[in-house]
Amino acid sequence: MSLKFLVDSMHGYVAKWLRIMGYDTLYLNTVDDENIVQLALNGRILVTSDDELAKIAERKGVEVVLTKGLTEEEVLRLLVERFKLVFQKDSLRCTVCNGELEPLPPEEAEKNPEAPKNVDLLWRCKVCGKLYWRGSHWRNISRQILNLTGSKP
């Protein structure tokens, strides 16, 4: 079973990178503590810098990673090391909505005005429809994942 995360409003950067690496990650910035705990009870690891929220969640049996005083980069590195996270190439996620990505067939890509030309592989989010491809930005993403995990994506 793949790990699932629930990240509070203080860690948008972390949520984005967990999604890039293929982990199901809810990012909540407008939900009260009780609702956050209820969502986390569905098998999610809560990542928070809020002491009070962490205590409430732990009392209810939620696995919590308390990140108080850490930078976003330190939080991400902590999660990678603690949970032995690697790039999940078979579980690509949308960085915007956390939806699963699916390959976009070439014939659909040709009809889509938002699709870049001369790109072999395209993915589309099943939820919000956002398109993804490995353009020049992929070099930086690959470097970051290699830096975090020690392996190439």
- Whole-model pTM: value is 0.89
For 116-125, write each residue's pLDDT tens digit. Answer: 888 878 999 9
Domain range enclosing 74:
1-153
**pLDDT tens-digit profile of 39-56?**
898 899 999 999 999 999
Q: Determine the average pLDDT of the residues in 133-151.
A: 83
> Tell me: the pLDDT tens digits for 4-45?
999 988 899 999 999 999 999 999 887 788 888 898 988 999
pLDDT, position 1? 57
pLDDT for 47: 97
Please report, as a single letter, which amino acid is at residue 13: Y
pLDDT at 107: 84
Q: What is the pLDDT of residue 117?
A: 82
Number of domains forming the structure of the chain: 1
3-state SS string over the chain? CCCEEEECCCCHHHHHHHHHCCCEEEECCCCCHHHHHHHHCCCCEEEECCHHHHHHHHHCCCCEEECCCCCHHHHHHHHHHHHCCCCCCCCCECCCCCCEEEECCHHHHHHCCCCCCCCCCEEEECCCCCEEECCCHHHHHHHHHHHHHCCCC
What's the pLDDT tens digit per position in 62-111? 999 999 999 999 999 999 999 999 998 888 999 999 999 999 888 888 88
